[in-house]
Amino acid sequence: MATEHPSIGDDLAAWMAEQHLFFVASATDAGPVNLSPKGYDTFRVLGPNEVCYLDLTGSGIETTAHLQVDGRMTFLFCAFEGPPRIVRLHGRGTVHRSGDEFFDDTVSSFPDRPGIRSIIRCDVERVFTSCGYSIPFYDYVGERTLLDDNMGARGDEGVEKYWAKKNHTSIGGLPGI
């Protein structure tokens, strides 16, 4: 049922790329644990022990704040269609913003979206799969456009104002953007 892998194999990488939803968890020694759902085409496997995702503007900045203090993070993928499967990636993450070499070299591998805050890169230390036998089936019917519509309507200057207002600190008071 549960298996630890030394790295992300091609089969796991392909399966994760097919998922419409994944989750990112992060924490520090104090304050709340954060768990964020992620959608759109925002996840990439860069190598056998390296992944990243495109961090889009949201109402909070918890993952960024946590990574800047601690670095620990976990990704979770689960099958909502097809055979049951759960994949967890445990590792240490870093935040890369526009102007950073990694960001600038990597951002073109993602579709262009309004409100891109950063790219979160993770050195994967542990790859763990389990059964997912209790995960229900769900039908994927499409992407919501609300985030793109909202950030696109704001324009670059409006997005930066939003960051200053909503993404300056985490709910635990840690520095964000």
pLDDT score of 177: 92
SS (H, E, C) 137-176: CCCCCCCCCHHHHHHHHHHHHHHHHHHHHHCCECCCCCEC
Q: What is the CATH number of domain 3-166?
A: 2.30.110.10
Whether the model pTM is above 0.85? yes
Ranges in the chain, pLDDT < 50: none
pLDDT score of 172: 87
Best CA proximity match to 36, nearest among 12, 7, 66:
66
Per-domain boundaries in the chain: 3-166
